[in-house]
Amino acid sequence: MTTVVCRQLAPRVGEPAHNHQLILEAIATSGDADLLVLPELSSSGYVFRDAQEARSLALTSTSDAIGEWIGAVPEGMIVACGYAELGEDDRVYNSAMLFDRSGILANYRKVHLWDQEKRVFQAGQSAAPIVDTEWGRLGLMVCYDLEFPEYTRSAALRGADALVVPTNWPLVPRPDGERPPEVIIAQAAARTNKMPVICCDRSGAERGQDWTEGTTVIDHEGWVAGEADESGVARCELDLRAGRDKRVSEHNHLFDDRRPDLY
C-alpha cells in the first residue's frame, strides 16, 4: 500500500517567497507520505493580471527554488507539484513536476489550457508522462486535462497505473449534495480505466476567485478513498497498482473490449 497525501495549499499570486515556504513546509510536514501531491501553480498562484505577471513568477526547471524543493524531500518520498515554468524556449507554461530526492523524475506542460490561461501560457506539446516508480507507473497531468476522456484513456493505454493531477478548480455551481463536476469526471476516468486518480486542489480566495477545495483521492473502482479534512489534508492508503489487470468480468477486459474501428 502507498501512503498518499494531498495538501490543498493556498498560494498567493505575486508572493513567490510565501509560496516557496508553503511548498517547503508541505514537504517537511508530510514525512510519512510515499506520494505527496500539491496543487497546480503552487509556486506562483493562479489569477494573473496579465502575461507579464505570469512570466515574472515563472521558474526554470533548473532554478534554485526547485533545487531547494528537491533537497527538502526525504528518502523514499515522491512529490508532484504544479508551477509556472519559463521554458528554455522563453515561453511560459503551466507545468507540473514529479520529483524525489534524486531530482526531477518528469516535467510536464499542461496541454489543455483553461480560459484565461490561454492568454498567459503556451500549451504543452507532449502527452502526459508515465513514470515508473516504486509505487507503480504514475501518469502526470494538470486540472482541465482530466476533462478529456480520450486523454485519460490514452494515459491508461500507455501503461499508467494511476494518475496524479495537481489542480486549481474554480468554484462552479452544483446541485445540493452533489460532488464537484470535476470529481465526477475523475471517478468516471478511474472506473472506466480501472486506474486510481489523485486530484490535489487548492484553497484560498485569490483576486475574487473562489476555489472548489475539492481534493479527492479516487481508487481504481472509481470510489472516493480520501478527501481533504478541515486543514486541507487528504491522507489515505491505496494500492496504486490494484487496477493493473483490466479484466472486469469473466468475459470482459476494459481495453480489449474497445472497438477502435468504430470510434
Clarify whether 194 is annotated catalytic: no
Q: Which of 110, 194, 199, 200 is catalytic?
A: 110
What residues make contact with a copy of itself under the rule CB under 8 A? 111-116, 118-119, 123, 126-127, 144, 147-154, 174-175, 178, 181, 184-185, 187-189, 191-192, 221-224, 249-252, 257-260, 262-263
Minimum Å gap between C-beta 137 and a copy of itself is 18
Residue 250 burial class via C-beta count within 10 angstroms: exposed 0-12, middle 13-18, buried 19 and up: exposed
- For 30, the 3-state DSSP assignment is coil
Tell me the DSSP string of 34-99: SEEE--TTTTT-S--SSHHHHHHT-B-TT-HHHHHHHHHPPTT-EEEEEEEEE-TTS-EEEEEEEE
Of residues 104 and 127, the one with the C-beta less far from a copy of itself: 127
CA 48 to chain centroid: 20
In the complex, least distance from residue 182 CB atom to a copy of itself, rounded to whole angstroms: 9
Closer to a copy of itself by CB, 16 or 129: give it.
Answer: 129
Least CB distance to a copy of itself at residue 154 (A): 5
Nearer to a copy of itself, 19 or 193 (CB): 193
Distance, CA of 155 to CA of 136 (rounded, Å): 14
User: Least separation, in Å, of the C-beta of 111 and a copy of itself?
Assistant: 5
H/E segment holding residue 227:
strand 224-227
Catalytic residue among 40, 117, 206, 227: 40
Residue 52, C-alpha cell as written in the block: 507579464
Active-site residue (options: 6, 143, 199, 200): 143
Catalytic residue annotation: 40, 110, 143
